[in-house]
Structure 1
């Protein structure tokens, strides 16, 4: 990844983005039409290199700037465009995508005829809108008027009613742009983060962030029949918002926060999500959740967090949503499975519409129905989301030392990183550089045994203050048996034990042999080591006698490239 251009801020360039993209487009035209002479190392010759832009990767606000389509108001969806059924809430004054997805269901689906749980008295008979091809899109764009640079605030006639076009994107100058099946990607990372925020903040009833506020309740009576959720007048004349089944009680919110605070995830799998819950944080509100934390929580932890808290139909719908994103973000995708995901997400969205209020459904909940199509056409989402660029920008932001010269600090840090990587290729192998350094959890692999058993031939490091503990006979037996059955030097004795067992118990199954190993092999090899006719080597005899009951307990342990943390540190009474 290269730092090709820098756009000064804090205001976004908006319609003027094409000014910054002009050098890039000119170079892409040259690469497509003429090409450039490039040296091929494998065949020491020059060849004419040509290149084409497949697609752009950006978050949703930048998506709108690159496409030239405003992502605000009720026509925000770049796929549905003017055919969307979104509307503006009367009291909330925000665009709403409630009940916009039944048209995508099969014609005989019962949700289409449901008059109670969707918009009042409405039966859905419309068919889904076909997606515009690149040629059709180009024909529309070419009809847009040219907006001068100095008249940036001028809007095209019909804006916000029949279309959301703000300008003709500069990418249409590329001769092949209309033939691309996908030109701008919907960023799965940001869609996930926004969907998670809406779900979590609404279920946890986070003040100021929940989608179930007073204005949303006021809009209910105009949209569908849910008298149990409408605002009520109390005896003293005050307005009362009744508790909804999709929100947790104060006690349930505290239980979820306590559970999150006790989370321990595998090292490197996610950041420390438990740190997001602090003693000063109000119950139900998490601070410092990064986009990848939302990704992990939505796909893995959401069904567990609300498993015993929500009603089963609500929990099942959220679980299906979690499984959808988990399947969508798989490293390998099958075209048949992605087609199933396209159908499932529409039904999942309709189930959520039966649960949550209309104000819950903004453009992000709607965009989920278009994500499987992009995955089916463009392949796994790992090649079209923002995580690699977010990590790069995070590194560059951390390199800023002078707040008065942010751009200079980033450029200097980026140049220093490039130079150091280039120079490190000329260092001898024994010099530790970024290219050959050992990962932080890597113990360096096997070491010379020098008479030691293979099971103890790994570099290991224990962390934390050691505490003396006394193991129970059950724990000693489990540890002893595990080491014996995983030591290469004892494989011959394991086969001898199996043969003796088959002679004593005719017709014994492999499963029974495995059970017998776990139960009796430690005693068998100990008796054999103590016998006078024993031919077992000395180091194996010591292992056969088993570990001491007096051991040292550590908080964490690194071995074989992994870090392990003890589930519970046992505190031993000093008087023992």
Structure 2
């Protein structure tokens, strides 16, 4: 509850509600509430209301009547608070709560706020000065460009919009005093169902009531009260775009009336309906609609798509469905790892959970074991940082190669000497790490880390989903570089004292070259990789915590062997930096165990 106060990185980037102007303005208006970070700030989400659990059964209720108990309790929590026990400190404190904002779709916004969302004045941001146009079958708002900055290029693009340069200027912020004045003139509103079942009349400019939320003692002074749910907006927009592109009945916005509207507005003459000699009308094909051959190619592309597990349903089953593509949500406990990182050496405290064991006792070659052992030592920040500075490096030789050859042997001998002397610095974890892993390892087909599921490429080849694409960052010629590839094997190495380490063995695609032999093509929107290329074939291990999940799509522009790589944004998984990120965690000062005699 105190994360936003103690660990949130305040660098001007909007990642958390606490970074918003509304949150900061609320703190300024109510400093006593802001002083206690454990006070609760609520967001209320509303969607379709159906008390009978049957979508075919229509039901009408005044939402203000339904919310009466909630508003009363919110006012009680604001004024008097509630005695609450803080388990982290063992203390009891008086916790207060406030409703910060609402989240809903557009129709629910009208129900909650009292602003009528139909007709010429339905645009709440336009308020009492809407820029609307009456078309043949609907009301259109052509003023969206007036909210752009004065020097925005879209203001001058007339052909792409209504045929005019946009010179009007409007602000997205509606003064609080203006709303208060409008609501002050709303009269004669009775909450609950009207005896004659009539709708409430519209009052100036487009209000039907004063929302019950205005009874909250802090609600009137809030600038941001309502948020439109992004999911609903994206879903509706995407359905309309795809429906128009494919010409799907019921979803296609390129109708005959829409073409007539263009003619009425005297814009885009190439799209006007043309009259044939027999009296019928012909609709010219728009550049935004696909030809039968293009539609066939689009469907073939969809059939080739393999999304990561839990990202979407099997799209192959839905390509020909009339109702679009069905998506699924991550289920609780499906993608859980081992939880919070425990105390100890970084290399032994990974939370990765391997799944799908293939073989229990795989004998690994001594060469591969040595490579693995060096990789784990090199990625142990408690050890490697001191060793690098103490080596005597002959001119022209690579420090990493010398480390890989000399350090594991020295470290093992040194820790074992300290162990014999019963030195406190030689902890069980250091002793375990210094002596290396067992030659017998376990092999798995999957792994879960930070709520993200990975599969090996071999398993992916037998599935309809794709979870083997990996992205990691590493040094290339002195600069940080993104490495793309596939996960080939998942190994679990066992050490003494019941310590274990999970490693990903990957193959990397080469994309550090340019020119005619380049193996990567990147533009503003996409990165495409030649998946027949290979890179760093002797450096294929990474820790699960170093991997990010990506998936690959066939590149329809360049063809085989090019594939477009896309990084996955997982539901409920957020990569948010905290105060102190990038700084080493405090570790016990076992400096003697980390040093090495000079090697000539």
Q: Judging changes above 3 Å, is the alpha-carbon distance between structure 1 residues 45 and 116 closer, same or farther for their aligned structure 2 residues?
A: closer
Task: Classify the secondary structure of the residue corresponding to 1:87.
Answer: strand
- Deviation of 1:463 after TM superposition, in Å, equals 0.5
> Which residue of 1 is the match for residue 308 of structure 2?
264
Decide whether the 8 Å contact of 1:446 with 1:459 is kept in 2: no
Q: Judging changes above 3 Å, is the alpha-carbon distance between structure 1 residues 78 and 251 closer, same or farther for their aligned structure 2 residues?
A: same
User: What is the root-mean-square deviation in Å for CA atoms of aligned residues?
Assistant: 5.7
Q: Judging changes above 3 Å, is the alpha-carbon distance between structure 1 residues 438 and 277 closer, same or farther for their aligned structure 2 residues?
A: closer
Distance 1:64 1:462 in 2: 48
Structure 1 unmatched ranges of 5 or more:
266-270, 294-390, 396-436
Distance 1:85 1:12 in 2: 34
Question: Do residues 80 (structure 1) and 123 (structure 2) align?
Answer: no
- Deviation of 1:4 after TM superposition, in Å, equals 13
Q: Judging changes above 3 Å, is the alpha-carbon distance between structure 1 residues 190 and 543 closer, same or farther for their aligned structure 2 residues?
A: same
Question: Do residues 440 (structure 1) and 321 (structure 2) align?
Answer: no
Residues 315-373 of structure 1: CA deviation (Å, up to 9, x unaligned):
xxxxxxxxxxxxxxxxxxxxxxxxxxxxxxxxxxxxxxxxxxxxxxxxxxxxxxxxxxx
The correspondence for 2:446, drawn from 548, 552, 556, is: 556
Q: Judging changes above 3 Å, is the alpha-carbon distance between structure 1 residues 192 and 473 closer, same or farther for their aligned structure 2 residues?
A: farther
> Which residue of 2 is the match for residue 279 of structure 1?
317
Residues 161-180 of structure 1: CA deviation (Å, up to 9, x unaligned):
x7332233333445654222
Distance 1:234 1:535 in 2: 97
Residues 195-238 of structure 1: CA deviation (Å, up to 9, x unaligned):
34444544565553243344433433223532343445689967
> Which residue of 2 is the match for residue 417 of structure 1?
none
1:27-426 counterparts in 2 under 5 A? 35-36=79-80, 38-39=82-83, 53-90=99-136, 93-97=137-141, 99-107=142-150, 109=152, 111-120=154-163, 122-128=164-170, 131-147=173-189, 149-156=194-201, 163-174=205-216, 176-203=218-245, 206-223=248-265, 225-231=267-273, 239-245=282-288, 249-259=294-304, 261-264=305-308, 271-273=310-312, 275-279=313-317, 281-282=319-320, 286-289=324-327
> Which residue of 1 is the match for residue 391 of structure 2?
499
Distance 1:50 1:62 in 2: 27
> Which residue of 1 is the match for residue 399 of structure 2?
513
Decide whether the 8 Å contact of 1:17 with 1:66 is kept in 2: yes
- Deviation of 1:184 after TM superposition, in Å, equals 3.0
> Which has a greater percent of helix?
1
Q: Judging changes above 3 Å, is the alpha-carbon distance between structure 1 residues 456 and 215 closer, same or farther for their aligned structure 2 residues?
A: same
Decide whether the 8 Å contact of 2:112 with 2:211 is kept in 1: yes
> Which residue of 2 is the match for residue 384 of structure 1?
none
- Deviation of 1:89 after TM superposition, in Å, equals 3.1
> Which residue of 2 is the match for residue 565 of structure 1?
455
Distance 2:151 2:352 in 1: 63
Decide whether the 8 Å contact of 1:145 with 1:156 is kept in 2: no
Task: Classify the secondary structure of the residue corresponding to 2:263.
Answer: helix
Residues 133-167 of structure 1: CA deviation (Å, up to 9, x unaligned):
3332222223234145324425536x7xx733223
Q: Judging changes above 3 Å, is the alpha-carbon distance between structure 1 residues 183 and 536 closer, same or farther for their aligned structure 2 residues?
A: closer
Q: Judging changes above 3 Å, is the alpha-carbon distance between structure 1 residues 478 and 247 closer, same or farther for their aligned structure 2 residues?
A: farther
Residue-pair matches, total: 394
Q: Judging changes above 3 Å, is the alpha-carbon distance between structure 1 residues 547 and 488 closer, same or farther for their aligned structure 2 residues?
A: farther
Distance 1:513 1:45 in 2: 53
Decide whether the 8 Å contact of 1:70 with 1:165 is kept in 2: yes
Decide whether the 8 Å contact of 1:468 with 1:552 is kept in 2: yes
Structure 2 unmatched ranges of 5 or more:
1-41, 420-430, 463-600
Decide whether the 8 Å contact of 2:318 with 2:325 is kept in 1: no
Distance 1:113 1:479 in 2: 60
Decide whether the 8 Å contact of 1:38 with 1:46 is kept in 2: no
Distance 1:124 1:468 in 2: 71
Decide whether the 8 Å contact of 1:117 with 1:225 is kept in 2: no
Q: Judging changes above 3 Å, is the alpha-carbon distance between structure 1 residues 21 and 471 closer, same or farther for their aligned structure 2 residues?
A: same
- Deviation of 1:66 after TM superposition, in Å, equals 1.5
Q: Judging changes above 3 Å, is the alpha-carbon distance between structure 1 residues 104 and 456 closer, same or farther for their aligned structure 2 residues?
A: closer
Task: Classify the secondary structure of the residue corresponding to 1:83.
Answer: coil
Q: Judging changes above 3 Å, is the alpha-carbon distance between structure 1 residues 247 and 31 closer, same or farther for their aligned structure 2 residues?
A: same
- Deviation of 1:505 after TM superposition, in Å, equals 1.5
Distance 1:484 1:446 in 2: 19
Decide whether the 8 Å contact of 1:480 with 1:522 is kept in 2: no
Task: Classify the secondary structure of the residue corresponding to 1:13.
Answer: coil
Task: Classify the secondary structure of the residue corresponding to 1:278.
Answer: helix
Distance 1:287 1:476 in 2: 46
Q: Judging changes above 3 Å, is the alpha-carbon distance between structure 1 residues 36 and 469 closer, same or farther for their aligned structure 2 residues?
A: closer
Which range moved further: 57-66 or 36-45? Answer: 36-45
- Deviation of 1:78 after TM superposition, in Å, equals 1.8
Task: Classify the secondary structure of the residue corresponding to 1:442.
Answer: coil
> Which has a greater percent of strand?
2
Distance 1:75 1:166 in 2: 12
Decide whether the 8 Å contact of 1:455 with 1:487 is kept in 2: no
Distance 1:243 1:169 in 2: 45
Question: Do residues 13 (structure 1) and 60 (structure 2) align?
Answer: yes
- Deviation of 1:277 after TM superposition, in Å, equals 0.9
- Deviation of 1:181 after TM superposition, in Å, equals 2.1
Which range moved further: 144-153 or 64-73? Answer: 144-153
Q: Judging changes above 3 Å, is the alpha-carbon distance between structure 1 residues 129 and 440 closer, same or farther for their aligned structure 2 residues?
A: closer
Decide whether the 8 Å contact of 1:69 with 1:78 is kept in 2: yes
Distance 1:105 1:457 in 2: 47
